[in-house]
Structure 1
Amino acid sequence: MAELPELIQLLTDKSKLTAMLAPSFPVVYDYPGIVGKLKRLGFAYVVEVAAGAEETNKKVIEALKKDEKARYITSPCPSFVRMVRKKYPHLEKYLAYAAESPMIQTAKMVKVKWPDYQAVFIGPCFVKKLEASEDFPDLKLLVLTYKELDEVFKHFQINDEEKDKQAEFDITFPGTRLYPISGGLVQSGNLKEILSDDQIQVVSGWQNCGKALIDFQASDTVRLLDILFCDGGCIMGGGITSSLNLEERRRRVTQYWVLGKTINKPSC
């Protein structure tokens, strides 16, 4: 995992850095403490990848409205995308490539806003490293998991401090904070306002992906297959260290989303 020593070196050199925090972060970290902690670590800016998720949603909705007969498979999950490419190449044409993942949308946003800063995505998934390096190499995006971030905190002896709770995201979007939960795209994008229930299929879990793809191919009704590789969504990603079960993880993300509805406003 070359990304870990690379980030440590960048921080040691006091390089210009922007942290992009995936929407599953409440499973592991408290807000706003994690933002302050990242800034003390050496990140000049800390942004919420939920902001990029809003752009992903917009592109999905645009595609569905543009052609009322079009059918799409949506997934921000590089493991699932690679599964389709390798095992179901005849279905790749349905992947909504135009609606790039929230990580990529956020990286592009950050590149425009702070072009001289190295963007670092921090999230629950090891395979996001391949999405960045293989699918979008021009973005030069550095990807670490929460597990690796904890190692960085340990290396620099950065512990929680009370003053961290005064920090805020430099870019935020509360409305899409449910994205890492199975069905998060459908709910946060209000897709049931433009599609009927029988036109939407939500699936999670690697063991369910194959059947879901076969069913999608055979269906004349489903226009949107919203699918995540990890059972329950990104909140169960392999880059997370947590003793919480699925329901407890879902509750933490949901509570953070509710918090955003009451006190936060989008900022870019």
Structure 2
Amino acid sequence: MKVIDFKPASCKHCYKCVRSCSVKAIRVTNAQAQIMNEYCVLCGHCLEVCPQNAKTFASDMDVVKVWLKQGDKVVVSLAPSYLGILKYRQPGQVVDGLKKLGFYQVRETAEGAAYVTAAYSRLLEAGKMKNIITTCCPSINDLVEKYYPDLTPYLAPVVSPMVAHGMLIKELCGKNTKVVFIGPCIAKKEEAEGDVRTRGYVDGVITFEELEQWFAGENIDLCQCGIQKMDNPDPKVNRLYPVQNGVITSVMKNYEAAVSGENLPGRGAQMYRKIFVDGIGACRELFDGMERGEFENCFIEANMCEGGCINGPAVNRLHVSRFKAKMNMEQQIEYEDPGYAPFPPQLHIEKMFYSRANKDHMPTEEQIQVILKATGKYNKDQELNCGACGYPTCRDKAIAVFQGKAEQEMCLPHAYEKAHSMANVVMETTPNAIFILDNDLKILEFNRMAQKFFGISKEDAMKSYLFEIMETQEFEEVLKDHHNILRRRMDLKQYGLKTLETIVYIEDMDGLLCILQDVSKDEERLEKEYEKKLQMVGSAQDVIDKQMMVAQEIAGLLGETTAETKIILSRLGDLISSDEQD
């Protein structure tokens, strides 16, 4: 199942999530970050650092509300970190608030932790394991199984407190009871619903953040609620599980009680040194050392979150720090073993761990070099290893590209250099003068053609204001009303130039971009063509005038010959008439 991921529309490919992911379980495809389930250990760090709030979480809130609405028996397993994280006056107010939401019972997960504590004590007494790593934290379990498979024999073969508690609740309240875990951890959802070894004991998971939203939606203020007791016997010291050294403290209190009660001989615990470690960086450093054989006979309390579960990814840190949460918890806890009866024998608290390591196909050196050269890295000096892409070295990123986990375009220095180079090509090869101004009309950028147009070097121009080299009235108008000017005719008589000016307001920087297109030659050509046309019109007029004169002369001659012809014909007619009379 996919517990966490990123919203495609919100992801802005800043790669901050990749940088924060210690195990590089985030694939970037088409500039979109995606969680790779098979690699993810569900620490939640990527969701915490995402500046776009692009995270998604497979919430059980809606289904839990349906169970309550239809009258199902729903019991809460409440993580003990609530003591330091939720806002209330008395712990009993949290119980009352949850029952106002409709829950049948509210029990502390520390009740289940007490039985896990007892199991750890028995492992210490047995002394058969070279090292023992606690298995309360599902993220740590994932980290070992996926990335340190040789250490799986050191994982304590015991379920987490949440799973043990789920088993117990269903035994006490009936198999059809719905168990809902509420806590600061997102990895618990995978453990409850995605791990076939522990599936079925916990039916839903709600985070503290979700719970606070639920309370707010129902107008429930815990500080105004009544006080009700938890439905479980006091787990006492086992409430310390969410803080640093809490597991070790609980185990040693239980061990001492068991020895004093003659339930354990009391020899095994002395052979183990006690170590607590938290934070993925520190845990990986320790596990690396264990792989090198640096540790033996150690009981190791390991937590993925720095400071323990009180600093989980689903905690609202705006109203409480992990340090204050720790103080709040420690002030309310009785440092004694609760003396619970043994875990019901029909329930099996054991869990087996095994390797789930991924075997990635590795590129050859030649393939790595091809990928490196594609991002402008032709030698070692060009491998900056800046980490901006999220990978510690350029070679690591090249390997990720080969494996389909990353894209070549993720190399930000190369992308910047490429974009800067392209911008320079445009600025320096365009036939137009281009300059950029701030809101005081100070020159910020001045390209090669601008230097040619105005006869001033870029260095001098960058120290100048626009009014020092040309009129600024139109620029001031654009700055004032933000109405761009596009291809307007402007004569720079002092420079012997005729131009088309474009002035564009840049909103983000409250400045101006100006482009001047030199049309002097075009204007000169047009003038010459116009003069030629005028000459042709004049020549045509001369021809027409001559033709008119010729036409008039021809008309005159035609008129004279026509008159003479008429006279002759008249005389001939008279002659013929006189002959007939005779």
TM-score when normalising by structure 2: 0.43
C-alpha distance in 2, partners of 1:183/1:16?
35
Q: Larger helix proportion, structure 1 or 2? A: 1
2:324 aligned residue: 248
Gaps of 5+ in 1: none
Higher relative contact order (CA 8 A, sep 6+): 1
Amino acid at match of 1:23: P
Structure-2 change in CA distance of 1:163 and 1:5 (3 Å): closer
On the 8 A contact 2:192/2:199 being kept in 1, the answer is yes
C-alpha distance in 2, partners of 1:157/1:244?
21
Which residue of 101, 111, 122 maps to 2:160?
101
Q: Answer with 1 or 2: which has the greater Rg.
A: 2
TM-score when normalising by structure 1: 0.89
2:311 aligned residue: 236
Output aligned runs, 1:44-193, within 5 Å. 44-68=104-128, 70-97=130-157, 99-115=158-174, 116-135=176-195, 136-160=198-222, 162=224, 164-165=226-227, 167-172=228-233, 173-190=235-252
On the 8 A contact 1:70/1:223 being kept in 2, the answer is yes
Give a deviation string over 1:8-44, Cα, whole Å, max 9, x none: 2222223211011001011222301101111111011
Q: Identity over the aligned pairs, expressed in percent?
A: 27
Give a deviation string over 1:198-249, Cα, whole Å, max 9, x none: 7121101111111111223423534211100000100000111133223211
Structure-2 change in CA distance of 1:220 and 1:7 (3 Å): closer
2:419 aligned residue: none
Cα distance, 1:171 vs structure 2: 0.8
Matched, 1:26 2:83: yes
Amino acid at match of 2:112: G
On the 8 A contact 1:75/1:228 being kept in 2, the answer is no
C-alpha distance in 2, partners of 1:190/1:140?
28
C-alpha distance in 1, partners of 2:102/2:152?
40
Where does structure 1 differ by over 6 angstroms across 4 or more consecutive aligned residues? 265-268
C-alpha distance in 2, partners of 1:155/1:9?
16
SS at match of 2:226: helix
SS at match of 2:159: coil
SS at match of 1:224: strand
On the 8 A contact 1:182/1:227 being kept in 2, the answer is no
Amino acid at match of 1:17: V
C-alpha distance in 2, partners of 1:231/1:46?
28
Matched, 1:15 2:15: no
Output aligned runs, 1:192-203, within 5 Å. 195-196=269-270, 199-203=273-277
C-alpha distance in 2, partners of 1:24/1:197?
31
Structure-2 change in CA distance of 1:252 and 1:92 (3 Å): same
C-alpha distance in 2, partners of 1:150/1:244?
14
Cα distance, 1:92 vs structure 2: 1.1
Q: More displaced, 189-198 or 139-148? A: 189-198
Amino acid at match of 1:137: R
Matched, 1:42 2:111: no
Cα distance, 1:139 vs structure 2: 1.9
SS at match of 1:14: coil
On the 8 A contact 1:177/1:256 being kept in 2, the answer is no
Structure-2 change in CA distance of 1:125 and 1:202 (3 Å): same
C-alpha distance in 2, partners of 1:244/1:197?
39
Cα distance, 1:266 vs structure 2: 7.3
C-alpha distance in 1, partners of 2:186/2:136?
13
C-alpha distance in 2, partners of 1:63/1:149?
36
On the 8 A contact 2:59/2:205 being kept in 1, the answer is no
Cα distance, 1:68 vs structure 2: 4.8
Instruction: Give me the CA root mean square deviation.
Output: 2.4
Give a deviation string over 1:130-185, Cα, whole Å, max 9, x none: 011122222252111101112222333333364522x0010131221111001111
Amino acid at match of 1:247: F
Q: More displaced, 65-74 or 85-94? A: 65-74
SS at match of 1:137: coil
C-alpha distance in 2, partners of 1:103/1:47?
11
Give a deviation string over 1:55-91, Cα, whole Å, max 9, x none: 0111111112123554211131111111111111111
Structure-2 change in CA distance of 1:21 and 1:93 (3 Å): same
On the 8 A contact 1:52/1:102 being kept in 2, the answer is yes
